A and B are shown apart, each in its own frame.
Chain A
Amino acid sequence: MIKEERYSGTNIPLKIYGLSEKSLTVTFGTSIDNDLLDLITGFNQLLLENPFSGLITTVPAYTTLTVFYDPLTVKLSDLPGENCFEKVSEHLNKIAAIIIEKSNVIAHHLVIPVCYGGNFGQDLLTVAKTNNLTETEVIDIHTAGQYTVFMIGFVPGFAYMGGMDNRLSTPRKELPAAKIPAGSVGIAGNQTGIYPMETPGGWQIIGQTPLKMFDVNRKQPSLLKSGDRVSFKAVDQEEFNAMLKQEYENHYH
């Protein structure tokens, strides 16, 4: 299901601000676009392959990468700088210098099966009506696109995906639903996303995937990560049930 694609990134000077004693944020740009995201993804991969002493984890978002570290370890490291902020910044700038030479980013591409409409996607008609389309047209447009995971946020494993065809753009619900089932695929504005677990939510639900989007027993609990490319494949209820059974068996056996 996973194939690899290569994207190229470009270098820009690093703008860094402190978030807390244990974290700082690098700002790569100001607006959402795939090139910027690939740059952040590439920078993140390079940093994780070349960590500084005391690095704990990183959090990519739309235009930023936040780096978490252990100040005690960083302070004792031989990186130049008066304090942890300067020491970590120094390392990140070195990474930025390498990225000019090594500008290729590996993005994963995943195909997510979705059973559209009916009980699985109660707002499919709303999305169709809002955009003067038929339900079938909505499904066709949604499955024809390629999406980019810009950020994992909100709840564990929730992927915010951009790149959706404008013809499907639909505002959030005025009143959020109290319970959205796990696996629900939704639309909010120009983004699409998948609810990994049952939560309240305001996105327009057009279908449901049988895949477990978040599973604490996996090495990478979240199926998707920032920078991934995603496309959707329509499946019928029978296929959905078979896949759901398969996911259940993978999980419990």
Chain B
Amino acid sequence: MKITIIKPGLLSTVQDMGRYRYLSQAVPVSGAMDELAHRLANKAVGNDDHCATIEFTYADASFKAETSILISYSGDGAFLVYQGELMPAEKPLFFSAGSVIKLISNPIGARTYLAVAGGWNVPDVMESKSTYLTAGFGGYKGRALQKADVLVGGPNLNEISNKILKQLVERSLIYPNWCISRNSLLPVKKREIRVVLANEICWFDATSILSFLTNAYTVNLRSNRMGYQLTGKPLVRKVTKELLSTAVTPGTIQVTGSGDLVMLMADCQTTGGYPRIAQVAAVDLPLCAQLKPGDTIEFAEISRDEAEELYLEREHDLLLITKVINLKYTQI
């Protein structure tokens, strides 16, 4: 399975679940910003969650199928359109060679993931296919996709992908009648980000902590895959000593010298020296990944135990989705 990029869009990179084993050498995690959408796109074509997808930022992109392809997409940055028709998300989609597929804007969010049966085949760098642009390694030649780039899926499809493909080809369908419901996995309030208070919480005065948990913050233009700068009421510190740099991770919310908030995202540095006020609950990081400059969010405090429970619950739901799809196709 092969596609050619006709129009790459603002920023399109190959990503997977990230590069976790080299953090001590200051290699960032990288990987899909919206890991949930990445995984659901993979699941919809029968892939393992770790297969590489293409992360598109906003829309205004298009590609051409050079061979027949089995793909799927998930995320809130764009809709896939084929011959003027909107294609459903979180479903396997079959297109014959020569088909041109466009991404048109979805005003809700920022990022969309395109999976192909077997995963996008780029070389592994430090055990991951994720692109890390700053150092120029991973993904497709260590860079963002450009016009005329050719991406190849596979080469080998697993049993489920083969069965999905066979069913669609035999019945001359673009897609089947089932889909994964991403919304059922996400909270209703998509602008309320749950957080666990962080280790340096006592470095801030009580009014500031209250202000952090009650005021709205706006994602400003200086936001990218490394992190988001948030505009809102600046926080005041009561402890002014320096923090010796220590490990940080995507979802860490740091407070800079001027009292502004920075939410670290997928490509963030592995260590940081700003005091941390909170850590975004892992289950709500996908919501953050869909934020655009100008979007406003509020924070809601949960306990460390609740965050872990929510995480385990989400993982069990995701395992269940894979089981259901497998069951559906083993009966064929």
Binding site for B on A (CB under 8 A): 17-23, 25, 30-32, 56-64, 66, 68, 71-72, 75, 83-85, 151-158, 160, 197, 199, 214, 216, 220-222, 225-226
Q: List 29 A-B contacts (CB under 8 A).
A: A19-B252, A20-B249, A21-B281, A21-B311, A22-B282, A59-B270, A59-B271, A61-B244, A63-B246, A68-B249, A75-B312, A85-B304, A152-B25, A152-B270, A153-B245, A153-B269, A154-B26, A155-B135, A155-B269, A157-B25, A158-B26, A197-B135, A199-B134, A214-B135, A216-B137, A221-B25, A222-B25, A222-B26, A222-B27
The contact of B27 among A30, A60, A66, A156, by CB within 8 Å, is A156
In the complex, the answer to whether A21 meets B26 with C-beta atoms within 8 Å is no
In the complex, the answer to whether A84 meets B308 with C-beta atoms within 8 Å is yes
B307 in contact (CB, < 8 A)? yes
Which applies to chain A's interface (DSSP): helix, strand, loop or mixed? mixed
In the complex, the answer to whether B24 meets A25 with C-beta atoms within 8 Å is no
B199 in contact (CB, < 8 A)? yes
How many Å lie between the Cα of A75 and that of B158 in the bound state? 29
Interface segment among B15-23, B56-64, B147-155, B204-212: the answer is B15-23
How many Å lie between the Cα of A19 and that of B252 in the bound state? 8
In the complex, the answer to whether A59 meets B27 with C-beta atoms within 8 Å is no
B213 in contact (CB, < 8 A)? no
Known contacts A61-B247, A66-B247, A72-B315; A225 and B25 CB within 8 A of each other: yes
In the complex, the answer to whether B305 meets A83 with C-beta atoms within 8 Å is yes
In the complex, the answer to whether B26 meets A155 with C-beta atoms within 8 Å is yes
How many Å lie between the Cα of A57 and that of B27 in the bound state? 12
Q: How big is the B interface, by class?
A: 35 or more
Q: Which chain B residues lie closer than 8 Å to A17 at the CB level?
A: 199
In the complex, the answer to whether A23 meets B25 with C-beta atoms within 8 Å is no
Additional 8 contacts, C-beta under 8 A, given A85-B304, A156-B28: A21-B281, A25-B247, A57-B24, A60-B24, A63-B246, A152-B24, A154-B271, A214-B25
Interface centre among A18, A58, A83 (most CB of B within 10 A): A18
How many Å lie between the Cα of A199 and that of B20 in the bound state? 23
How many Å lie between the Cα of A156 and that of B134 in the bound state? 10
Q: Which chain A residues lie closer than 8 Å to B125 at the CB level?
A: 216
B279 in contact (CB, < 8 A)? yes
How many Å lie between the Cα of A252 and that of B249 in the bound state? 34
Binding site for A on B (CB under 8 A): 20-28, 125-126, 134-135, 137, 196, 198-199, 244-249, 251-252, 269-271, 279, 281-282, 304-305, 307-308, 311-312, 315
Nearest A residue to B136, CB-CB: A197
How many Å lie between the Cα of A226 and that of B125 in the bound state? 22
Q: Which chain B residues lie closer than 8 Å to A222 at the CB level?
A: 25-27
Nearest B residue to A152, CB-CB: B26
Q: Which chain B residues lie closer than 8 Å to A156 at the CB level?
A: 22, 25-28, 135
Known contacts A57-B20, A59-B270; A21 and B308 CB within 8 A of each other: yes
B204 CB, min distance to chain A CBs, angstroms? 16
B149 CB, min distance to chain A CBs, angstroms? 21
Q: Which chain A residues lie closer than 8 Å to B304 at the CB level?
A: 18, 85
Known contacts A84-B308, A216-B125; A25 and B199 CB within 8 A of each other: yes
How many Å lie between the Cα of A23 and that of B311 in the bound state? 13
Q: Which chain A residues lie closer than 8 Å to B308 at the CB level?
A: 21, 71, 83-85
In the complex, the answer to whether B282 meets A154 with C-beta atoms within 8 Å is no
Known contacts A22-B282, A59-B23; A155 and B246 CB within 8 A of each other: no
In the complex, the answer to whether A18 meets B196 with C-beta atoms within 8 Å is yes
In the complex, the answer to whether B21 meets A57 with C-beta atoms within 8 Å is yes
In the complex, the answer to whether B312 meets A220 with C-beta atoms within 8 Å is no
Q: Which chain B residues lie closer than 8 Å to A30 at the CB level?
A: 244
In the complex, the answer to whether A66 meets B246 with C-beta atoms within 8 Å is yes
Q: Which chain B residues lie closer than 8 Å to A57 at the CB level?
A: 20-24
How many Å lie between the Cα of A222 and that of B23 in the bound state? 11
How many Å lie between the Cα of A155 and that of B137 in the bound state? 13
Nearest B residue to A60, CB-CB: B24
